[in-house]
Structure 1
Amino acid sequence: MLKDPFLNEPFDPRLMWFIGMFDVYDREETRGVELEVYNPDDTGDREALIRKYCLDLPYLSHRHKLVLLENLEVKLADPTYDFQHLFEIDPCEAASWPREEWDSLENPRGFFEEIYKLAIEVWELDLAKASSEDRSIW
């Protein structure tokens, strides 16, 4: 069974693994300042954000990356899946985005489509390695 990289429990390939690092709560003066210059609706900024933050996940193994990408593929194949809900922050939670407009992206599905496209490219070797393994030994 594939384990969570931080907890001794099964890995849950939630899509928040891709965008959780954008949460700047209690880091507004550091990570918040670093991220507030980006507009996630701008094509160039979006690609830079994805490459630098969403796909630079050194704590995930090649196996985690494959399972995470497969889950994203399933969600993208579902035309009714609401990607916007991933960006909505419950006011009772200790969480916040770098800029106010992050909680209402113009095209949240497009953001994740771009993640998928770039992950296939950036994680190519990891995905090939994981795909060649016997999952029953994970």
Structure 2
Amino acid sequence: MLKDPFLDEAFVPDLMWFVGQFDVYDREETRGAILGVYNPDDEYDRSELIVKYGLDLECLSYRHKYVLVEFLRTKLGEPDFDFQSLFEIDEGCPGSWPRGEWYNLKNPRDFFQDVYGLAKEIWKVDLQKAAIEDPSTW
């Protein structure tokens, strides 16, 4: 069983792994200032954000990355999947995005489509390594 990198339990893929790094709650003046110069609706800025921050997941093994990318591929194949819900922050929960655009992206599916394409490119070696293994042995 593939274990969560932080907990002693099974790893459950979640698309928040790709956007959680953009939460600037209680870091608005530091991380928020850095990320605030980017517009997630702009294609170039979005690519920069994803490459520099969204895929910077050193805590994950090549197996975790494979499971996440496959999970994302599945969700992208669901035409009615609500990607915007991943950017909604409940009023009572601590969390905030660096800019107002994050709360209501023009096309959140495009954001995740870019995550998918860039992850396949940047994590290529890890994904190939995991693909030749039998996931049932993890």
Give the TM bin, normalised by the shorter chain: over 0.9
Mapping for residues 32-43 of structure 1, pairs under 5 Å: 32-43=32-43
| 8 Å contact from structure 2 (residues 13, 71) kept in 1 | yes
Mapping for residues 36-55 of structure 1, pairs under 5 Å: 36-55=36-55
| Alignment partner, residue 21 of structure 1 | 21
Partners of 2:5 and 2:98 in 1: how far apart? 26
Pairwise CA distance, 1:12:
1.2
List structure 1 runs of 4+ shifted beyond 6 angstroms.
Answer: none
| Alignment partner, residue 131 of structure 1 | 131
Root-mean-square deviation over aligned CA pairs = 0.7
The sequence identity of aligned pairs, in percent, is: 63
Letter in 2 for 1:107: N
Pairwise CA distance, 1:55:
1.0
Partners of 1:5 and 1:96 in 2: how far apart? 24
| Alignment partner, residue 75 of structure 1 | 75
Letter in 1 for 2:130: A
Deviations 1:55-88 (A, max 9, x none): 1111100000000000000100000000000001
Unaligned runs of 5+ in 1: none
TM-score by length of 1: 0.98
Unaligned runs of 5+ in 2: none
Partners of 2:4 and 2:86 in 1: how far apart? 20
Deviations 1:95-131 (A, max 9, x none): 0000122110001000000000111110100000011
SS in 1 for 2:21: helix
